[in-house]
Structure 1
Amino acid sequence: MEIDILDFVEQCRDLAKQALGKHAGEPASGGFARWVHVVLHCFRLEEGHSYRETPNRLKYMSEVRDVLGLDQDELPDYSTIYKSFDRLKMWVWRALLRVSAQQHPQSGHVALDSTFFDRRAASSYHCQRSGYSVQTLKVTTPFVFS
């Protein structure tokens, strides 16, 4: 399915600002607003670019740069984009998921927890060496009926 990348970036911008609320304008890293970092990652993943390719692609996409409020001379370096992905806290991604899920009408479909794997004993050697203690870690696989 083809999408218009400009519409996609605009929707991501609106969702990111809505999800982040008052924290949207705060810089996450590199001096750019937090919502810009979120939209850059969405853009990168949607287009299938590497971290190194993303600034190069943005250089030639003036409309996308305009949506992000970036000049051609102030594009973030690929290392800034790479590091910002790890620096964004989990609450940012959860808020984005919650806001984007609320955009769709409720269909009556349900998701069931079909399996889980108990990984209590995984890598006990690493836990002993590093001083970590893992009580329980459950990994679930959702199964959706339609």
Structure 2
Amino acid sequence: MDTLPKSQLLRFVEQAMHLAHRAVAPYSSKFSKRRYTLHQHIVLLCLKVRKNTTYRTLLDELIEMPRIRKAINLDELPAPSTLCKAFNRLDMAVWRVLLNLSITLLPTNGIVGIDASGFDRSHASKHYTKRTKLTIHQLKVTLLVDTKANAIIDVHVTTTRRHDSQIAPSLIERNTGDIAVLLGDKGYDDQKVRAVAHEENVRPLIKHREFSSLHEAWNARIDAELYGQRSQNETVNSRIKRKYGAFVRSRHWWNQFREIAIVCLTHNLDRSL
């Protein structure tokens, strides 16, 4: 079996395991039972997102994946509840560290697009939600995407309808080293966004809302070829929804945020292969 070439799934698992070793210690505390490591939990959670499946189905499939189990040193399979508890225990900060590390695996060029998209907070049927009188809200997910590698540099998630111009400044300040040019649509046309970008030595290539002929002239001077690369954001948004699902399964907002972060990490790992 070892003579067979490595599948993309096996390479994905090995890459995720490598990042996990760089990001966290093997165990959460000295009182840990040491039955499973945090590295194994991180890889299995990423694998669940990549396969777009449930904990129970993933563990059932792992029975027939000896090479995958060997790659993560998994001698016995955990219970579905063990993975669920591990997901609840791993903070958002851990997933952000892993996301930052995953960017180093890809050839970025500093030309970054910013755009927002919606993710459903449940995938219950319309018939069920109508009968129970439930209101399904969406998460607003804003992605910073490098246009060369289609890598997700950072993500911002909110349950509110905050305007794009209120979200952009914090993303710029948090990722100044990875952004040289910021591409945005008219939703990000705000003096504060431009001011923060200039302070951080980032060139904002954002179209102006046309309230006068002067705004029309400014938009006409924008480099159309460079600005056209902003479409990579729509490509990434479409890809992660088609491949990993357009909804989150968790009930609590903090776990929903973590789900989106794992999706972004999984996307970067897939791109690196």
Tell me the TM-score normalised to structure 1 length. Answer: 0.69
Instruction: Tell which structure's C-alpha radius of gyration is larger.
Output: 2
Which of 7, 16, 20 is the matching residue for 1:16? 20
Which of 110, 125, 128 is the matching residue for 1:108? 110
Q: 1:26 matched to which residue of 2?
A: 27
Secondary structure in structure 2 of the residue aligned to 1:100: helix
Separation in 2 of the partners of 1:19 and 1:70?
A: 19
Shift in Å, 1:51? 1.1
Q: 1:132 matched to which residue of 2?
A: none
Q: Where in structure 2 are there 5+ consecutive unaligned residues?
A: 1-6, 118-159, 172-183, 185-228, 233-273
**AA partner of residue 85 (structure 2):** K
Q: In the alignment, is residue 39 of structure 1 matched against residue 40 of structure 2?
A: no
**AA partner of residue 102 (structure 1):** T
Work out whether residues 23 and 98 of structure 2, in 8 Å CA contact, stay in contact via their aligned partners in 1.
yes
Secondary structure in structure 2 of the residue aligned to 1:110: strand
Task: Let me know the Cα RMSD of the aligned residues.
Answer: 3.0
**AA partner of residue 108 (structure 2):** Q
Shift in Å, 1:77? 0.4
Q: 1:126 matched to which residue of 2?
A: none
Shift in Å, 1:54? 1.5
Secondary structure in structure 2 of the residue aligned to 1:32: coil
Secondary structure in structure 1 of the residue aligned to 2:47: helix
Q: 2:91 matched to which residue of 1?
A: 89
**AA partner of residue 27 (structure 2):** E
Separation in 1 of the partners of 2:99 and 2:47?
A: 16
**AA partner of residue 37 (structure 2):** A
Which of 76, 79, 90 is the matching residue for 2:78? 76
Q: How does 1:122-141 map to 2 (within 5 A)?
A: 140=167
Secondary structure in structure 2 of the residue aligned to 1:52: helix
Separation in 1 of the partners of 2:98 and 2:109?
A: 20
Q: Where in structure 1 are there 5+ consecutive unaligned residues?
A: 116-135
Q: In the alignment, is residue 54 of structure 1 matched against residue 58 of structure 2?
A: yes
**AA partner of residue 17 (structure 1):** H
Q: In the alignment, is residue 99 of structure 1 matched against residue 101 of structure 2?
A: yes
Separation in 2 of the partners of 1:78 and 1:33?
A: 15
Separation in 1 of the partners of 2:73 and 2:48?
A: 17
Secondary structure in structure 1 of the residue aligned to 2:55: coil
Q: Would the alpha carbon gap of residues 113 and 27 (structure 1) be closer, same or farther in structure 2, given more than 3 Å must change?
A: same
Secondary structure in structure 2 of the residue aligned to 1:26: coil
- Alpha-carbon displacement from aligned partner over 1:26-84 (angstroms, at most 9, x marks no partner): 1487731111100001111111220111111111100000011012xx21001111121
Separation in 2 of the partners of 1:38 and 1:100?
A: 13
- What is the identity percentage for the equivalent residue pairs of Structure 1 and Structure 2? 34
Q: Would the alpha carbon gap of residues 67 and 27 (structure 1) be closer, same or farther in structure 2, given more than 3 Å must change?
A: farther
